[in-house]
Amino acid sequence: MRRIALAGFLLAAANIHAYAESLDEHTYANYVDKDGNISIPVDVRKTWSHLGSWVVGDKQAPGYGFHDVYTQPEVVDIYRKTSEFPDGAVLVKEIRKVEEGSQTTGLAQWAGDVTVWFVMVKDRKERFKGNGNWAEGWGWALYEAKDPNTNVSKGFQVTCLGCHIPAKETGWVFTKGYPTLIKTVP
Ligand code: HEC
């Protein structure tokens, strides 16, 4: 019995190691091509971890909608131990339309169709120097629902930097909105 427990422990330890090692390989084989072009990971709602949600309820605001943020489950494990995003971490922010209507619970808002996806890919090796979509330790991309294969960002400096400055001290990520990273919800 004890031997089985030990074997299980060793296997678990080996798995954690293999997991951490393969995260970057997996990301750079599946979501980034050799020229640094980023693609949207598919169906993250089903298999990735939900980090948190934002709601911008002002119809006039640029970010009007539901913002749901996802990452790979391994990233949550590693971040909880190190407080850092590992190489190959991918953050997907999906923005959905606000639907509103009366429900049996009361007047409710809920998330409708996707409008855009924002994607960030952690790069600790400065892989794509000189590529405008790679800066400050991340790859940066933006896709519209009508054409999910085309990154419509004009590059980090033009499209992303101005708005992300408030998050510079936390690695360019608005971590305060992501309870999954910092505590275990019962
Ligand atoms: C209008 C301002 C604005 C612009 C432009 C913008 N962001 Fe953000 N982004 C934010 C804010 C604020 C948050 C967190 C709160 C929210 O979503 O309302 C955020 C969150 C994110 C997240 C979720 C992880 C995190 O950092 O908290 C990703 C991924 C992201 N942005 C990627 C991008 C990329 C890539 C670009 C450029 C193509 C970009 N953003 C441009 C303001 C902006």
Closest ligand 1 atom number to CA of residue 141: 35
Give residue 10's pLDDT.
46
- Separation of alpha carbons 80 and 180, rounded Å: 9
Helices and strands (H, E) in the chain, number of each type: 5, 6
Give the model confidence (pLDDT) of 17-47 as tens digits.
Answer: 455 458 999 999 999 999 999 999 999 999 9
Asked whether the beta carbons of 10 and 18 are under 8 A apart, the reply is no
Establish whether residue 138 lines the binding site of ligand 1, counting it when its CB lies within 6 angstroms of any ligand atom: no
Q: Is the pLDDT of residue 131 over 60?
A: yes
Q: What domains can be seen in the chain, in order of their start residue?
A: 2-182 (3.50.70.20)
Which 3 state secondary structure label does DSSP give 84?
A: coil
Establish whether residue 93 lines the binding site of ligand 1, counting it when its CB lies within 6 angstroms of any ligand atom: yes
Asked whether the beta carbons of 90 and 41 are under 8 A apart, the reply is yes
Asked whether the beta carbons of 54 and 67 are under 8 A apart, the reply is yes
pTM of the model: 0.90
Mean pLDDT within 131-137? 98
- Separation of alpha carbons 123 and 51, rounded Å: 20
Give the model confidence (pLDDT) of 77-108 as tens digits.
Answer: 999 999 999 999 999 999 999 999 999 999 99
Nearest CA to ligand 1 atom 26: 173
Nearest CA to ligand 1 atom 16: 54
